[in-house]
Amino acid sequence: MNHFVSLHYTKATIAEVARIRTLGPLGFPHYTSEDICVDGFPIAKGTVIIGLLWAIHMDPTVWKNPDEFRPERFLNDDGTFYKPKALISFKTGRRMCIGEDLATMVTSLFVARVMQNFRIGRVDSSPIDFTGVCGNSLNPKPQEIIFTKI
């Protein structure tokens, strides 16, 4: 993990995966603590609000060409990692996920080790399908892939 601080492109790649294929596209339910008005719509105190993270992560007014996989969108001009507010992987509202640090560490170690040691591809010659199946979480479609030791 000490070296991960300097792996800016790896961090950007993980962030782009989290953006383009949001694991929890619906986020988590929240309740309004008071009567509020959002874009002219009144919302009563105690109303359940569910943020559609997928819509935020794929919004073309926030992300240029949101359907394209581009880790570079998370790099500053000097090549260092940058995490914009619009990337909402582990929080909705003011609350952070208590497991964010652990999840980030485990994901970082796993991705870095896999990318250092394997080339990933399909068993057949067709391209890997990254579209996923949307439900309460975004799940990969069944397909056979192969990890070839580098």
97 is in an annotated binding site: yes
Within 13 Å, how many C-alpha atoms sit on residue 55's CB side?
Answer: 5
The alpha carbon torsion through 97, 104, 84, 139 (nearest 10 deg) reads: -80
Q: Express the helix, strand and coil content of the chain in percent, nearest 5 each.
A: 30, 20, 50
79 in helix, strand or coil? Answer: coil
Binding residues for heme: 97
Q: Which residues are annotated binding-site positions?
A: 97
